[in-house]
Amino acid sequence: MNAFSSTLLKKIKSKNATIAIAGMGYVGMPLAGALAKAGFKKIIGIDIDQKRVDQLNSGISLIPALPKSSLNKMIKNGFYATTDFLNLQVADALIICVPTPLTESKEPDLTYIQSTLTLSIPHLKPGVLISLESTTYPGTTEELVAPQLVSGGFSIGVDIFLGYAPEREDPGNEVFQTQDIPRVLAGMTPICLRLMSALYGSFISTIHPVSSPRAAELTKLLENIQRSVNIGLMNEMKIIADKMGLNIFEVIDAASTKPFGFTPYYPGPGIGGHCIPIDPFYLTWKAKMYGVHTRFIELAGEINESMVDYVVSKSILKLNEQGIAISKSKILILGLSYKKDVGDLRESPNIKILNSLINLGAKVNYSDPFFKTIPSMRKFKLHLSSMSLTPGNLKKHDLVLILTDHSSFDLKLICKHSVSIIDTRGSIPLSQKVTYA
């Protein structure tokens, strides 16, 4: 170890290190909370969204994983958010948690990582640890991040330390918090790995070092591709069961009684969130460089994406049974986010379904306690407001589409009404006379 690494290691062990987090979203905010809970007081949140920065500095928590009480305690202890990368001059570690979306042609878009590095490097002091948490393809840390740091005048493992520790956040999960979820991590050099292990081991219950950043990057992709493939299988099984007049949720519950060899996965209107709809494309893109065509992974993606059209087709058929044309129909959608009790619209298939129904001429309303209005998105600009779930409002519609796990909705109220229901999640009891998509 040299003087830089020894000094940093001491600061981490004493919880006296200043930790900067770039990207205060669904990953960065819980991360800040976990660091604070472990005893780190010098935490800086960096984000390019001035509104978000102002809210955080005012004590307004943006996600349930970071309660307002915890945020206010953090602020009293020294936490602050900023849009100014000049604040990195005092940072001992920088954790990068910025988005990694897809381009229109479904190729990796790493511009947020690149721009974060471009803005950060001029202000980094020698001896700082850089940890990338953003989901990405194998090779990003070594092929993109490291060269950019070297071009900035640093030497990896000497006066700057670099590693990869893929995030494992699960928005809305009340059982596993950031500090409770084991973390895979890697370093560019042995000393980088030692510092990564010291930092993450100081606030995460279990760490699992691997041989290289590429191994850690592939680990993250594997976790989510496994879910994508299995959900794709269940979505295909749902279509088969529907043709046979069977309820796939009943079948899955029955299969789940087997104590070995079966893990339940569930179908739905599609897949959403930042990871599962995107991660497979990061690997398929990279695999092509090695001459590998990922047919199995891509097929699962195609099946999952097709579920939007499937739900729309089911809606048209259900309306036709009532003698109602889609262009003359009134439809109420329950749930905009991709999973229950989460105010998260990232890649939500529900928005795509809503937009498709509007384009077909339907009068569409929605009810979601997390969204009074639909925020403007890159692909969709929908000027609608949430409708309260009342008997009167239900009677105004020809069809109710339940598009999310719906603990936030009054199912008894829905089931008592004669309005047609399509429940894509299968949460309404079988005794109710409803149609399962």
Catalytic residue numbers, as ranges: 275
Q: Are 56 and 62 in contact (CB under 8 A)?
A: yes
Kind of pairing between the strands at 183-187 and 160-164? antiparallel
Token duo for residue 228? 């994508």
Residue environment code for 74-98, b if the CB has 16+ CB neighbours within 10 A, otherwise e: bbeeebebbeebebbeebbbbbbbb
State the DSSP code for 80. Answer: E
How far is residue 272's CA from residue 345's CA, in Å, rounded to a whole number? 8
Would you tell me how many other CB atoms lie within 10 Å of the CB of residue 37?
15
Distance CA(80)–CA(218), nearest Å, equals 33
**φ, ψ for residue 150, nearest 5 deg:** -65, -40
The enclosing H or E element of 366 equals strand 363-367
Identify the H or E element spanning 56.
Answer: helix 50-57
Backbone angles phi, psi at 43, to 5 degrees: -125, 130
Quote the CA–CA distance of 60 and 363 in Å, as a whole number. 35
Nearest one of 116, 57, 117, 65 to 81, comparing CA atoms: 57
Indicate the Cα dihedral angle 57, 58, 60, 61, nearest 10°.
20
Let me know: does 196 contact 187? Beta carbons within 8 Å: yes
